[in-house]
Amino acid sequence: TNLKMKTNQLFLPFLILVISSNSFLSSAAESPPEVVDIDGKILRTGVDYYILPVVRGRGGGLTMDSIGDKICPLDAVVQEHQEIDQGLPLTFTPVNPKKGVIRESTDLNIIFSANSICVQTTQWKLDDFDETTGQYFITLGGNQGNPGRETISNWFKIEKFDRDYKLLYCPTVCDFCKVICKEIGIFIQDGVRRLALSDVPFKVMFKKA
């Protein structure tokens, strides 16, 4: 009987270890849900989509613009004035580009699929704090990939918002970097509907281009 008890005592920690490692493996294997477009199809890496507003009557899709009188650089991601304007198509590239699908709460690059007359990339990035307006605007000119400290301003996320989605800036590509975590909304500057960090998220949906 003593031998049996000793065997059970030895076996019990082993059993707990097996159970805990199994639960760890299953939780590690669980990925965030896929993002879907308005047709219920999963968003794919490198495919063109329009980012469209869910709320009607307050502008259309997203496009590039330059603020002020200058033509270059294109330094603003803005919402079209007219609801019928879908804006420019965009692609999404996740932090692991080999992943073919776009998932919620996952770092990704957002890039306009359009040529610019200005010598710059058409990838989104977070601009420095704008003292005049007190805003952090979404601008253009980021570099794709290379997750880490040098590219911290280039990573965005898509998250579920009611039955639709919202965009946010809360990069997790650098463990030791201090970052802002905030949703992306609309800030109206001189009549232009600019994307900026906000307490009021811009509710969006995705349409395959």
Q: Scan for tokens 């003292």, then name that residue.
A: 131
Answer yes or no: are the C-beta atoms of 157 and 138 closer than 8 Å.
Answer: no
Based on DSSP, count helices (H) and strands (E) in the chain, helices before strands: 1, 12
Answer yes or no: are the C-beta atoms of 184 and 13 closer than 8 Å.
Answer: no
**Is the pLDDT score of 208 beyond 90?**
yes
pLDDT at 116: 82
pLDDT at 23: 41
Q: Per the domain annotation, does 129 fall within a domain?
A: yes
pLDDT at 169: 98
CA terminus-to-terminus distance, the chain: 73
* Rounded Cα gap, residues 117 and 154, in angstroms: 21
Q: What domain range includes position 117?
A: 47-208
Strand 157-161 to 138-140 pairing: unpaired
* Rounded Cα gap, residues 191 and 202, in angstroms: 17
Helix (H) or strand (E) holding 139: strand 138-140
Answer yes or no: are the C-beta atoms of 33 and 103 closer than 8 Å.
Answer: yes
Q: Per the domain annotation, does 61 fall within a domain?
A: yes
Contacts of 128 (CB under 8 A, 6+ apart): 136
Q: Per the domain annotation, does 90 fall within a domain?
A: yes
Q: Per the domain annotation, does 35 fall within a domain?
A: no
Q: Per the domain annotation, does 3 fall within a domain?
A: no
Q: What is the pLDDT of residues 109-142, one digit of tens each?
A: 999 998 888 888 999 999 999 999 999 999 999 8
Answer yes or no: are the C-beta atoms of 88 and 61 closer than 8 Å.
Answer: yes
Q: Scan for tokens 């307490």, then name that residue.
A: 199
Supply the CATH number for residue 199's domain.
2.80.10.50
Question: Domain count of the chain?
Answer: 1
**What are the phi and psi torsion angles at 81 (to 5°)?**
-70, -40
Average pLDDT, the chain: 88
Q: What is the pLDDT of residues 161-207, one digit of tens each?
A: 999 999 999 999 998 999 999 999 999 999 999 999 999 999 999 99
Answer yes or no: are the C-beta atoms of 142 and 151 closer than 8 Å.
Answer: yes
R_g of the chain, CA atoms, integer Å:
22
**DSSP for residue 95:** S
Q: Per the domain annotation, does 13 fall within a domain?
A: no
Q: Per the domain annotation, does 7 fall within a domain?
A: no
**Is the pLDDT score of 21 beyond 80?**
no
* Rounded Cα gap, residues 62 and 57, in angstroms: 15
